[in-house]
Amino acid sequence: MLQAPQRTGLSGPTLIRLLTRLTDVDVPESRQSLSDHLSQWLGWTDAIALSAALNTSPPVIAPGARMFSSAEERECARVRTTLADAIASDTAATSAKRIVPGQAPAKKSAAVEQAEADYSNFRQRYLSLQHTMETSVGNLRSRLRGMVAAKNGEMTRLAVVDAIMDRALLPKERALFGAIPKLLQGHFDRLRLAEAAALAPGDAPVDAPAAEADAAPPADGAAKLDDGNGKAPAPATAPPPVTPGAWLDVFRKDMRSVLLAELDVRLQPVEGLLAALRAS
């Protein structure tokens, strides 16, 4: 079975470790701290806004704010499940050739599907799923942020900081996530080429008469080979055959794993706001 090349493992989120394993690029682990990275990503206007939010006295919140309940927990779980299901169904159904609306998809053999495989379709689906994740997670984050802001002064400060970070880091986030489909294209091409090489006929043809002579049993009275214990050596085990088109299933599975890992990263701010609401 085809497998992705093994890369040197890195610590960090699952998304980073997955991309390191699947891509053909050696990325040294950064020695910079998270705060150092953020200082490079934030502009001076963002820094001023953050300073004001952190150093200004929090406002007094009027009573009557909506209480946090299990409804928000269920909504967060629903959004995660809905997005995970969309990723699973979309990556499983992504075919090499786009289906015209209203046209029934024709059943194809693995060999035909492999020959028609086009990465542009996978790229488009990946970008579409990224847009769906960004919209759904962004709406959920805004909803929770509003609940956090209505709790008390300190929680309002937290909500303001989250809003500033969301706005400031969104362009960088889009650029980094947007580079993932290009990284996966290299993995797509390597899997395709690896299977093509495995299915290609050998360069050196076997001499049939010589092979038959080697395989013929020894004549009567001839010495028989053994393994030193009076037993004939076991025949060499042939490598398992490569199934044509298996590489495409491998790629779909890897693409699904990367999308799910990206979803986990996108939901981290939501999990932080949920934790703040639970603790308030």
Please write the tens of the pLDDT for every residue from 29-45.
Answer: 677 777 777 778 888 88
Per the CB < 8 A criterion, the answer to whether 221 and 273 are in contact is: no
Measured in Å, how far apart are the chain's first and last C-alpha atoms? 51
- Please give the DSSP secondary-structure letter assigned to residue 43: -
CA-based nearest residue to 191, from 147, 249, 137, 148: 249
Per-residue confidence at 67, pLDDT binned at 50, 70, 90?
low
The more confident residue out of 55 and 126 is 126
Residue 109 has pLDDT above 70, yes or no: no
Where are the chain's structural domains?
A: 84-97+116-198+244-280
H or E element, residue 215:
helix 208-215
Highest mean predicted confidence (pLDDT) among 93-107, 165-179, 240-254: 165-179
CA-based nearest residue to 166, from 53, 14, 18, 69: 53
Please write the tens of the pLDDT for every residue from 5-28.
Answer: 444 445 568 998 899 899 876 666
What mean pLDDT comes out for the span 251-273?
Answer: 96
